[in-house]
Structure 1
Amino acid sequence: MGRWSQYDSDEERLPSGMKRIGYDADTQTYSYRDTDGSIWEGPPGSQYGHLTRVSGPPPAPTLDDNDPHLEALEPMAFSDDTGSKPSWRHEMMPLLNFLVLVGLFLLFVFWFIGSKSSGTESIVCRDGSSRYDIQPGDTCWGIAEMIHTSVDQLLQENPGLDCDALPVGKAICISAV
Structure 2
Amino acid sequence: MAKASNNIAMDLNMIFIVSLLLVFVMAESRSLLGSIVRGNSPPVCDEVVDVKSGDTCFVVAKTFNLTAEFFDAINPNLNCTALFVGQWLCIDGSVLN
Q: If the length of structure 2 is used for normalisation, what is the TM-score? A: 0.46
Return the structure number with greater relative CO, CA threshold 8 A, min gap 6: 2
As a proportion of its length, which structure holds more helix? 2
Q: If the length of structure 1 is used for normalisation, what is the TM-score? A: 0.26
Q: Which has the larger radius of gyration?
A: 1
